[in-house]
Amino acid sequence: MASYSKIEWTEMTWNPVTGCSRISEGCRHCYAERMAKRLRAMGSRRYVNGFKVALHHDLVDLPRRMRSPRIIFVNSMSDLFHDKVPAEFIRSVFDTMSACPQHTFQVLTKRSQRLRELSARLPWPRHVWIGVSVEDERVLQRVADLRAVPAAVRFLSCEPLIGPLDNLPLAGVSWVIVGGESGPGARPIEKAWVESIRHQCYKAEVPFFFKQWGGTRKDLNGRELNGRTYDAMPPLVRRSDGREHMSYELPTLAV
């Protein structure tokens, strides 16, 4: 269960855990839940229980067998810090990531409180990035929890952005992703919300990545903001042997 991804800010997904449950308004139209139901209908053995949380012990070591450097989104079909994922299993996933400095791992969670509680028991090598989802002002506490985690790269995923975020606390944050909701029932995103976050990132010198406008047909709406794309990412992560494993450039953030 590692596959190449169409997600603009990563290269591959790795899902040692599948399934989740709704925790906030950002989950209302969860793409992973829709996908899990589709995969179950197709007979996928990983989704025999639909979107219920399932641990896949046989997949925990998968990145160790991948020699070519990759950017890997961890648990695109779940939340690693879900309360039904034992702390020991989370630690095993982190041990695998620590043992694979050739890759960059991106872990994203809405369970920021559990992340904060467990963070002291987990290894935090530079190639493991940790982020929280922040869909509107009601969940800003997640940023405070994130900033308490001793990771080299902390990031925010403001997707689906369903409300304004005019006062993001960006100190200690290394990257911000913004995107509109997509798929059936997608709630609209306002341009002013996106521009506010972009300007805050500019002032704080935080890389800004605009993923999509979204909508029921996101392919028709694209991802340009004022005539350009924004693809900034955190500074290059180097491997333990000192070599570069990717050559991303950090674009100038125009006002």
Going by the DSSP 8-state scheme, the letter that residue 164 receives in this structure is -
What is the rounded (10 degree) CA torsion for 123, 14, 240, 127? Answer: -60
Percent of the chain at pLDDT exceeding 70? 91
Q: Please tell me the predicted confidence (pLDDT) of residue 235.
A: 81
Measuring CA to CA, how many Å separate 118 from each of 83, 111, 211? 11, 11, 30
Measuring CA to CA, how many Å separate 142 from each of 6, 108, 246? 26, 11, 29
Q: pLDDT per residue over 110-139, tens digit each?
A: 999 999 999 999 999 999 999 999 999 999
| Residues 6+ away with beta carbon under 8 Å from 88 | none
Residue among 216, 185, 195, 181 at smallest CA distance from 26: 181
Indicate whether 252 pLDDT > 80.
no
- Residue 1's pLDDT band (boundaries 50, 70, 90)? low
Q: pLDDT per residue over 65-99, tens digit each?
A: 998 999 999 999 999 999 999 999 999 999 999 99
The amino acid at residue 30 is: C
Measuring CA to CA, how many Å separate 7 from each of 32, 44, 177, 234? 13, 22, 12, 17
Of residues 236 and 116, more confidence is placed in 116
Which token pair is 55? 């641990």
d(CA 82, CA 19): 9
| SS3 label, residue 188 | coil
Q: Please tell me the predicted confidence (pLDDT) of residue 185.
A: 93
Q: pLDDT per residue over 210-225, tens digit each?
A: 999 999 989 899 999 9
Helix (H) or strand (E) holding 54: strand 54-55
Strand locations in 89-226 (E): 104-109, 128-133, 153-158, 175-179, 208-212
Indicate whether 22 pLDDT > 50.
yes
Sign for the pseudo-dihedral over CA of 99, 100, 104, 105: negative
- Residue 242's pLDDT band (boundaries 50, 70, 90)? very low
Q: Please tell me the predicted confidence (pLDDT) of residue 249.
A: 36
β-pair partners for 54:
18
**DSSP per-residue codes, 2-31:** EEE---TT-SEEE-SEEB----SGGGTT-H
Q: pLDDT per residue over 169-196, tens digit each?
A: 999 999 999 999 999 999 999 999 999 9
HSE of 66, CA atoms in CB hemisphere, 13 A: 25
